[in-house]
């Protein structure tokens, strides 16, 4: 049950030039959360009421795993209680039954403020009714400790002395997220508890999994101490003893201030645990303050638990750790920063710059909105996050970038999950055989950005293995002879592990898709493309937008190898004979015939899986480049000529898809005009659209796709009745997610394409829409940053772990400010508009290029409309 405790939320405001912000009374927002994490692997979230979970992975949750609805439906939050003879039990987070009940009457007497920096979150409560001011700060130290530190500072703001007794309340879940609905009680019975002078440690006897039980090596702990080193006087270590017949909002032992019955070294095994740690009574004079520190964490080595007391065992040490945390994250986000006419934008972009780093840590899991992840990083997410990370520090990511190519199969598909250990791949999060047809696009785009930023052309020569599992022929067949014991690397018929250059890996992905076409000669949709909701058209479905972008990539790959040859003097490339068979070099290939291209692909699959010897042959660079360019140009001309729609209403735009009945999805229908943004984005970005088509596609998008309520660019119009021939998106109410939400990821790519093509004012209009919606806290109801999408009510959804952040950061630096590399040469090509220059006529960007910190200042003293030089 949720009862509004505070007054109506205001808006967050930045409070320093670095991006720290403050928000008055945000507790009324149920879906607001903030990430707390570190590189060691601690991943947590915290809300304005201190709710949120914490984990180091799918099977090691310190606190109970949460989804969005749990943030207001469940009571097992972090909490800190004080008991005074004057007013009884008081929660410093406001989460008590009495405070909820009295909230309406007390709204003028209790003021809540959230203050946040990179990456620390503080809850400040001014409670004039009880004379208590509290400031509770959460952060994860930038060390090798998988812990979260909570610092609680209590100040007497009344006119008389204040006596109270503090008790922490930090519930411990201590097991796999799977155990929420799989032997939840049984797994608690396997818990073993140890108490020490500062808190408790819970160590399950085993990791329960009926597919194969495993020994458990993880321990979960909560420690607490006074800021001056004061030890606790006792503990109430189980939920049953803490709450009695009450609940976490009004625990019996706290509301009655009962003395702890258990002191070290007693144990309480097989019960749900809680870090309810009691301290001695404290008296504060008016204006006086005191501090308490709580440390929660997960470890595989119990010896490290009490080391936390040595490292963080006083207020001074915690302040040092907090300062180090703030400095570490500040340095990371300011590697790319901007100074424009809008200081709020400059600070907001620092939070955008943080998001790709968060995705590297969290993957697509472990924050409340992301209830479908189980750890690891998705293939598409991995490569797109690298776009921003490469701009921030390309040298740091080179070895990882190379290793990711090991996840590509020789049939052109790939592993879809990349786990934390380098080279550790998984076929699918849910063990389903399926292929996303867009997955071959992203490795090349990321590789090309890396080469442009560094000039490291030699990376395309790096030899890598190919991934192997049970899937064959892009998940259309199964290798019944293969077992995991055979290894996860593709072997020749002689049992030798096969390797190919990174260039060959890129070609495999593009050439297989070039041949894998449907009856309209567009590349097959297979089990979905970038839009995961289009997952019911794997027989006759076709994806026009990604056909276009594959075409552009082929042209660029031709240019890449030509430049490589010019720089290196290498005139021939050595590539797999089978891979070259997918081109028309040795055996002519009729591009206009879908049947011929499909036949070529099936013959390739047959060669690959029946007689693959790993033989290679040399091909002249000039010959291969001409063939790839010819293939790419054919694709773009095909899309421009055959997928352009002139509707009855007069609007013109590109068709996006064909469904599983082979029917064109977009255009005029009995129930109205159908259109999607993805098709316009990639037709424009790829160059398939002519300048005239680009202008008309933008006008159609602006007129048809903009949400009349929010002004955001929706991903699609309503797609008519569900005929079970296109995807699960029909089940989603229109106005949410990919089904009619203002989907920022695609909108950012749309503006990227417009800027690429020189449509600056049009691109700026799209950008302004995104920025305005994300920076309306009252409607968006999120902290600074760019969410995955804005729904039809204006609320931001799926915050922090959105691929839109990488694309926005890259677009702002390389297209709008025009600071980018081209084969290692630094290029300046700004497309700033008048409004982005300050009163002094300047716009400034800070970035890194080839190991050097660069500061670029554009001067536009006459405040011209568009800066191009």
Asked if residues 423 and 403 have their Cβ atoms less than 8 Å apart, the reply is yes
Is residue 755 over pLDDT 80?
A: yes
Instruction: Give the model confidence (pLDDT) of 831-850 as tens digits.
Output: 999 999 999 999 999 999 99
Segment 612-632 mean pLDDT: 97
Mean per-residue pLDDT for 219-246? 95
The confidence band for 9, taking pLDDT boundaries of 50, 70 and 90, is low
Q: Tell me, what's the pLDDT at 425?
A: 81
Give the pLDDT of residue 674.
Answer: 97
- The rounded percent of the chain whose pLDDT value lies above 90 is 82
Look at strands 425-426 and 463-465 and give their pairing: unpaired
Query: What is the average pLDDT across 129-136?
Result: 97
| In the block, residue with structure tokens 């009571």 | 75
CA distance readout (Å), 370 to 9, 57, 595, 736, 767 = 25, 13, 41, 15, 25
How far is it, in rounded angstroms, from Cα 123 to Cα 135? 6
**CA nearest neighbour of 261 among 240, 231, 241, 282:** 241
Report yes or no: 764 and 748 within 8 Å, Cβ to Cβ.
no
What is the CA 559 to chain-centroid distance, rounded? 32
Residue 866 has pLDDT above 70, yes or no: no
Confidence of residue 802 (pLDDT cuts 50, 70, 90): confident
Q: In which element (H, E) is residue 191 found? A: strand 191-195
**In the predicted model, what is the mean pLDDT of residues 11-38?**
92
Residue 757 has pLDDT above 90, yes or no: yes
Q: pLDDT digit string (tens) for 435-485?
A: 999 999 999 999 999 999 999 999 999 999 999 999 999 999 999 999 999
- Tens of pLDDT, residue by residue over 705-732, are 999 999 999 999 998 888 999 999 888 8
At residue 869, the pLDDT reads: 40
**Residue 363: what pLDDT?**
86
Instruction: Taking residues 88-110, report their average pLDDT.
Output: 90
pLDDT digits (tens, 9 = 90+) for 267-292: 689 999 999 999 999 999 999 999 99
Predicted pLDDT of residue 5: 43
- Quote the pLDDT of residue 778: 87
- Report the candidate in 134, 167, 303, 143 with the shortest Cα–Cα distance to residue 234: 167
* Mean pLDDT, residues 641-653: 97
Which string of DSSP letters, residue by residue, matches 658-724? E-TTS-B-SEEETTEEE-BHHHHHHHHHHT-S-HHHHHHHHHHHHHHTB-TTT--BBSB----S--S
Question: Which pLDDT score is estimated for 652?
Answer: 98
Q: What is the 3 state secondary structure string of 489-538?
A: ECECCCCCECEEEHHHHHHHHHHHHHHCECCCCCEECECCCCCCCCCCCC
- Residues 534-589 have pLDDT tens digits of 999 999 999 999 999 999 999 999 999 999 999 999 999 999 999 999 999 989 99
pLDDT tier, 193 (very low <50, low <70, confident <90, very high otherwise): very high
pLDDT of 527 strictly over 50: yes
In angstroms, the CA 23 to CA 826 distance is 40
Q: Is the pLDDT of residue 414 over 70?
A: yes
Nearest to 12, CA basis, from 94, 110, 113:
113
Query: Quick check: 64 and 76 in contact, CB under 8 A?
Result: yes
- The Cα–Cα gap between 83 and 259 comes to 12
Q: Which H or E run includes 99?
A: helix 97-101
Locate tokens 């902290």: which residue?
783
Beta carbons of 545 and 529 less than 8 angstroms apart: yes
Q: End-to-end CA distance of the chain: give it in Å, rounded.
A: 58
What is the rounded CA–CA span in Å between residue 52 and residue 17? Answer: 29
If we measure between CA atoms, which residue out of 38, 30, 69 comes closest to residue 54? 38
Q: Is the pLDDT of residue 322 over 60?
A: yes
Q: What is the mean pLDDT of the chain?
A: 93
* Cβ within 8 Å of residue 806, ≥6 positions away: 355, 356, 359, 384, 385, 386, 387, 388, 389
The pTM (predicted TM-score) of the whole model is 0.94
């Amino acid at each position: 049950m949720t009862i509004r405790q505070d007054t109506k939320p205001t808006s967050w405001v930045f409070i320093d030039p670095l991006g720290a912000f403050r928000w008055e009374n945000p507790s009324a927002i149920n879906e607001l959360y903030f990430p707390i994490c570190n590189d060691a692997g601690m991943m947590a979230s915290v809300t304005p009421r201190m709710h949120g979970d914490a984990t180091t992975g799918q099977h090691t949750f310190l606190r109970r795993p949460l989804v969005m609805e749990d943030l207001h439906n469940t009571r097992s939050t972090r909490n800190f209680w004080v008991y005074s003879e004057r007013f009884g039990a008081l929660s410093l987070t406001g989460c008590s039954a009495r405070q909820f009940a009295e909230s309406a009457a007390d709204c003028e007497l209790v003021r809540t403020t959230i203050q946040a920096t990179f990456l620390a979150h503080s809850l400040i409560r001014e409670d004039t009714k009880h004379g208590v001011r509290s400031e509770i700060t959460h952060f994860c130290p930038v060390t090798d400790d998988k812990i979260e530190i909570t610092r609680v500072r209590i100040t007497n703001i009344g006119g008389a002395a204040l006596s109270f007794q503090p008790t922490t309340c930090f519930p411990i879940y201590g097991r796999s997220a799977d155990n929420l609905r799989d032997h939840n009680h049984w797994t608690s019975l396997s818990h073993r508890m140890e108490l020490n002078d500062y808190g408790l440690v819970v160590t399950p006897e085993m990791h329960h999994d009926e597919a194969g039980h495993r020994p458990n090596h993880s321990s979960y702990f909560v420690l607490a101490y006074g800021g001056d080193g004061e030890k606790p006087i006792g503990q109430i270590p189980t939920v049953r003893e803490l709450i009695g017949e009450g609940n976490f909002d009004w625990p019996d032992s706290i509301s009655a201030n009962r003395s702890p019955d258990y002191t070290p070294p007693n144990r309480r095994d097989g019960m749900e645990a809680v870090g309810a740690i009691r301290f001695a009574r404290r008296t504060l004079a008016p204006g006086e303050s005191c501090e308490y520190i709580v440390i929660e964490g997960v470890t595989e080595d119990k010896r490290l638990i009490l080391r936390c007391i040595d490292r963080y065992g006083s207020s001074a040490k915690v302040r040092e750790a907090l300062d180090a945390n703030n400095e570490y994250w500040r340095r990371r986000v300011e590697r790319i920063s901007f100074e424009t006419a809008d200081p709020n934008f400059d600070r907001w972009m620092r939070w955008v710059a943080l998001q790709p780093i968060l995705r590297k840590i969290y993957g697509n899991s472990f924050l409340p909105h992301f209830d479908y992840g189980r750890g690891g990083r998705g293939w598409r997410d991995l490569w797109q996050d690298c776009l921003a990370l490469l701009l921030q520090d390309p040298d740091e990511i080179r070895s990882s970038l190379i290793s990711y190519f090991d996840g590509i199969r020789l049939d052109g598909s790939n592993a879809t999950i990349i786990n934390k250990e380098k080279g550790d791949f998984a076929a699918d999060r849910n063990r389903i055989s399926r292929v996303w047809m867009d997955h071959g696009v992203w490795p090349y785009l990321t590789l090309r950005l890396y080469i442009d930023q560094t000039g490291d052309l030699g990376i395309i020569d790096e030899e890598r293995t190919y991934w192997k599992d049970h899937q064959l022929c892009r998940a259309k067949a199964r290798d019944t002879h293969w077992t995991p014991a055979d290894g996860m690397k593709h072997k020749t018929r002689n049992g030798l592990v096969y390797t190919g250059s990174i260039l060959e890996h890129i070609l495999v992905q593009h050439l297989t898709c070039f041949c894998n076409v449907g009856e309209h000669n567009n590349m097959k949709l297979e089990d979905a493309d970038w839009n995961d909701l289009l997952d019911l058209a794997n027989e006759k479905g076709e994806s026009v937008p990604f056909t276009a972008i594959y075409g552009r990539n082929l042209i660029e790959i031709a240019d890449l190898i030509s430049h490589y040859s010019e720089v290196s003097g290498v005139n021939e490339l050595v590539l797999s004979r089978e891979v070259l068979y997918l081109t028309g070099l040795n055996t002519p290939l009729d591009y206009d015939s879908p049947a011929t291209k499909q036949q070529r692909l099936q013959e390739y699959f047959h060669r690959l899986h029946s007689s693959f010897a790993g033989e290679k042959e040399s091909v002249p660079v000039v010959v291969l480049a001409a063939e790839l360019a010819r293939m790419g140009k054919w694709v773009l001309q095909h899309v421009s000529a055959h997928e352009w729609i002139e509707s009855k209403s007069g609007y013109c735009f590109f068709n996006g898809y064909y469904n599983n009945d082979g029917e064109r999805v977009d255009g005029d229908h009995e129930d109205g005009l159908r259109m999607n943004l993805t098709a316009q984005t990639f037709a424009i970005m790829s160059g398939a659209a002519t300048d005239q088509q680009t202008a008309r596609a933008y006008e159609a998008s602006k007129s048809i796709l903009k949400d009349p309520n929010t002004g955001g660019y929706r991903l699609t119009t309503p797609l008519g009745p569900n005929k079970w021939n296109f995807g699960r998106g029909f089940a989603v109410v229109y106005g949410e997610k990919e089904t009619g939400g203002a989907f920022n990821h695609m909108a950012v790519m749309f503006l990227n394409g417009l800027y690429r093509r020189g449509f600056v004012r049009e691109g700026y209009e799209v950008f302004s829409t995104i920025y305005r919606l994300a920076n309306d806290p009252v409607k968006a109801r999120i902290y600074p940053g760019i969410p995955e999408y804005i729904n039809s009510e204006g609320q931001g959804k799926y915050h922090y772990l959105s691929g839109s952040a990488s694309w926005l950061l890259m677009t702002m630096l390389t297209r709008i400010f025009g600071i980018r590399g081209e084969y290692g040469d630094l290029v300046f090509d700004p497309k700033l508009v008048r409004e982005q220059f300050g009163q002094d006529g300047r716009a400034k960007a800070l970035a890194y290029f080839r190991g050097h910190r660069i500061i670029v200042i554009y001067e536009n003293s006459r405040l011209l409309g568009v800066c191009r030089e």
